Amino acid sequence: MSASDTLYDRDFYGWAAEQAALLRAGKLAAADVAHIAEEIESLARRERRELTERLAVLLTHLLTWQAQPEMRGRYLLLTIRLQRRQVVQVLDDSSSLRWELGEILADAYGDALLAAQRETDLPEAAFPPECPWTLDQALHGEPAPDQGA
């Protein structure tokens, strides 16, 4: 086991600082390339997860808006607006995620279905089995961004 492997296992922050210094100094041969690649891949997965989670929250609240008109209010509308902004921010930061939006939207909708059932106490049959919105509709459709609040 090399010293950088030991440092990686023992002190991630110290390892990361050391690797950054090696890369900046152009000492690629001394860098822990395998772990650096692993960490970069982990960052990419984290961005995808963030987008999926933000979309799931947005879709949950859109489902609630649709299924329970009596629950429509300022809180729900502001939550929808906030999630829309955050989805756009993630996409602006990681625009290549747009290539995976079909799969991400489907994953997020699966989570949203469960969350909407939990939040509304309605059965699964009360909601569409497939996501009824495109990404554009989820981000810009009803409720309209300027509606209500």
Q: Is residue 12 part of a domain?
A: no
Q: Is residue 32 part of a domain?
A: no
Structural domain boundaries, residue 52 = 46-140
Number of structural domains, the chain? 1
Q: Is residue 34 part of a domain?
A: no
Q: Is residue 27 part of a domain?
A: no
Q: Is residue 122 part of a domain?
A: yes
Report the pLDDT value the prediction gives residue 4, as an integer from 0 to 100: 45
Q: Is residue 104 part of a domain?
A: yes
DSSP-assigned states of every residue in 39-91: HHHHHHHHHHHHHHHHHHHHHHHHHHHHH-GGG-SHHHHHHHHHHHHHHHHHH
- In this prediction the pTM is 0.82
Report the pLDDT value the prediction gives residue 89, as an integer from 0 to 100: 95
Report residues of the chain scoring pLDDT below 70: 1-6, 144-149
For the chain, give the percent of residues with pLDDT over 70: 92
Q: Is residue 23 part of a domain?
A: no
Q: Is residue 114 part of a domain?
A: yes
